[in-house]
A = this chain, B = another copy of it.
Amino acid sequence: MQKRKVKVGIVGLGRLGYQHAENLSFRIPFCELTAVCSINEKEVKKAQENLEVPYGYTDYDEMLTNKELDAIFIASPSGFHCEQIIKALREGFHVFSEKPLGLYIEETQKVEKVVMEHPDQTFMLGFMRRYDRSYALAKKKIEEGAIGQPTLIRCYGIDPTKQLDGFIKFATKNYSGGLFLDMSIHDFDLARWYLSAEAKEVWAVGGSYSRTEFNELNDAETGAAMIRFDNQAIGIFVAGRNCAHGYHVETEIIGTKGTLRIGTVPESDQIVLFNDNGVINECFDGFISRFEQAYLSEVEEFVNCIIEGRQPAVSVRDGVESTKIGYACKESFENGQLVHVQNDRFVSN
C-alpha cells in the first residue's frame, strides 16, 4: 500500500522561502512542491525551473483555488501571515506558517480562533528550534530530570554585525516589531516550553551603542529583558543586532540539580584553527546555516502530521503567548517600567 504524496504550495520565495521550497522539492519524504507563489514573477519562474514545479502564481488567492494542493506553506513577510493563514484554512488547506504568527496580539488571537474552528486541518507554526536536535534533546533531558527543576533560563539571540546595515535600511521603511518581538520570539517560546510556565512580569532595557539610528527608530541595537514566570522561575533574554563573531543563539537552563547549555559557543563546524592569533573556532553566519537541520525536521513533522491526521506539538497558542511576551517587552523598553504580561488562557471572541 503506497503513501500518497502531500502536495504543497508555497507563498514567499525570499531567502528562507526559497530554502523551504528547495527542501519541499527534494528533501522531504512523501512531499511534492506543486505550486510556488510570489508577487515577484522572476522568483516564481526561477523556482519553477530549478525545482521543476508545475504551477506558478503571482496572486495568493489564485493559488488557493488550485484544489490539487493539500497544504499551503507561508513564508511571506510577517505582515501577511495572519491573513494568509486564515484564508488558507477557510479554503480547507493544511497550513504551515513561518514565525511570527503575527505582528499584533489581536490578529494572532483571531488566527487562533480560526485554527480552532478547523480542528481537522493540520496547522503548524515555524518555531523550528523545537525541532533542532540539540534543543529537542535538551527538552528530553529536562523531562528525564537531568537538571532537576528548571529555575532560570537565559537566552541570547544576536544577529551578525554583517546584517546591521541591511536591517537599518529595512527598519526605516518597515515595521519590524522592534528588537524583542523580532529577535526574541523564538526565545520566548523556548522559555515557556522548557520552564512549563507563563510569563508574569517583565522589565526590558536597551540602547543604541554603535549606531544612533536605533534611537530614531525608537528601537534598541542591543537589549535585555528579565522576566518573572508564574512558577517563580526567572528568564533572562538578550537580543541584539551587532554580533561581531556571527549569529549567536545560545540558551541556558539552570535547574536545581544541573545546568544545560545549548550553543554556548556557536561553532559552525568541527574545525579548530590554531595560528598566531590563538586557538580559533569559527561561528555560524546566520539562522539558515545554524538551523538547517531544524528547518528540514519541522517540515517533515508537518507532512507527517498531515499524513497521520494529527496536530504538531507547537500550537497556535504558542504563537499567541510568545507575541504577548514580546509586546510586554516592547512596552517595558519604551516606558522604562515593569510591565505585567496578560495571560488570558482562553481566547475572547
Give the CA-CA distance A29 to B146 in the complex, in Å.
40
Stretch at the interface among A7-15, A76-84, A205-213: A205-213
A269 touches B134 (CB 8 A): yes
Q: Closest residue of chain B to A232, judged by CB?
A: B207
Stretch at the interface among A90-98, A107-115, A147-155: A147-155
A275 touches B258 (CB 8 A): yes
**CB-CB < 8 A to A223: which residues of B?**
234
Q: Closest residue of chain B to A207, judged by CB?
A: B232
A205 touches B222 (CB 8 A): no
**CB-CB < 8 A to A177: which residues of B?**
none
A259 touches B236 (CB 8 A): no
Closest CB of chain B to A317's CB: distance in Å? 25
Q: Closest residue of chain B to A158, judged by CB?
A: B254
Contact partner of A338 (CB less than 8 A), chosen from B146, B207, B338, is B338
Within 8 A of B (CB), among A208-227: 208-210, 221-224, 226
A262 CB-CB contact with B under 8 Å: yes
Stretch at the interface among A61-69, A117-125, A278-286, A306-314: A278-286
- B-facing mask of A150-177, CB < 8 A → 1, else 0? 0110100000010000000000000000
B3 touches A52 (CB 8 A): yes
Give the CA-CA distance A254 to B273 in the complex, in Å.
10
Give the CA-CA distance A266 to B264 in the complex, in Å.
14
**CB-CB < 8 A to A259: which residues of B?**
243-245, 273-275
Contact partner of A134 (CB less than 8 A), chosen from B270, B279, B338, is B270
**CB-CB < 8 A to A205: which residues of B?**
226, 228, 234
Within 8 A of B (CB), among A245-297: 245-246, 248, 254, 256-267, 269-283
Give the CA-CA distance A249 to B134 in the complex, in Å.
21
A44 CB-CB contact with B under 8 Å: no
Most buried by B among A25, A245, A266: A245
- 20 A/B residue pairs, CB under 8 Å, sorted by A: A26-B27, A26-B30, A27-B27, A134-B269, A134-B270, A151-B207, A151-B209, A151-B221, A161-B276, A203-B338, A206-B234, A236-B236, A245-B277, A259-B274, A262-B271, A263-B270, A265-B279, A267-B279, A277-B277, A280-B280
Give the CA-CA distance A150 to B48 in the complex, in Å.
46
- In the complex, besides A3-B52, A208-B232, 8 extra interface pairs with C-beta distance below 8 angstroms are A26-B28, A147-B275, A243-B259, A244-B258, A245-B274, A260-B274, A267-B279, A278-B282
Give the CA-CA distance A265 to B279 in the complex, in Å.
8
Known A245-B274, A275-B147, A277-B280; contact A236-B260, beta-carbon cutoff 8 A: no
Closest CB of chain B to A243's CB: distance in Å? 8
**CB-CB < 8 A to A244: which residues of B?**
257-259, 274-276
Q: Closest residue of chain B to A300, judged by CB?
A: B26
B234 touches A146 (CB 8 A): no
Give the CA-CA distance A240 to B152 in the complex, in Å.
11
Contact partner of A26 (CB less than 8 A), chosen from B29, B133, B283, is B29
Give the CA-CA distance A267 to B263 in the complex, in Å.
12
Known A279-B280, A338-B203; contact A261-B257, beta-carbon cutoff 8 A: no
B271 touches A134 (CB 8 A): yes
A209 touches B224 (CB 8 A): no
A323 CB-CB contact with B under 8 Å: no
A337 CB-CB contact with B under 8 Å: yes
